[in-house]
Amino acid sequence: MEKSITTSRTVERPMETVADLLEEDPVKLLTAATDAATTAANEVVVHLEGDWRWFDVNESVEAEIGTIERSGSMARLPLSWKADKHKRLLPSLDGHLSLYSLSKQHTEISYTATYAPPLGLFGGVEDFLLGRRILESVLGRLLDDLVHYIHDQLPQG
């Protein structure tokens, strides 16, 4: 049973400049924001972290990055991944990173994905009780890191 998840943050930079930075080199953006090691042209090993209550996540995932698509006041970058080691903790995600212009100086960055909780019926219960919250924490941390990196790379002015 597939589920969907969305996490978003706001960055205080114009959408066009954020999209330009993302389009210039999406692999560099993700690796710099997450302390990752590049493995191939459109694949990268990304180091993800997060925590929820007493669970800490410190996991590497193999990410596949597509080509950015722009349309008016939004941009979208296909971004999917699968866990290297702990596939039960972090399911494979098939999704995209989206940018939406909120105003001249504010952009919403969101990540939307679908995933299948591991372990069948038991996995659905585990996802309801714990897994989804851990995944939300990891995605939130990823977007927080991206926002900080964007602020560092695109000085306001």
For the stretch 57-107, pLDDT in tens is 556 677 788 999 999 999 999 999 887 665 655 678 899 999 999 999 999
Digit-coded pLDDT (tens) for 17-47: 999 999 998 887 777 776 654 454 444 445 4
Phi/psi region, residue 72 (left: phi>0; alpha: psi -120 to 50; beta: rest), is left
Q: Name the amino acid, one letter, at 38.
A: T
Query: Residue 33: helix, strand or coil by DSSP?
Result: helix
pTM of the entire predicted model: 0.78
The architecture in CATH of the region 3-153 reads 2-Layer Sandwich (3.30)
Strand partners, 97: 77, 111
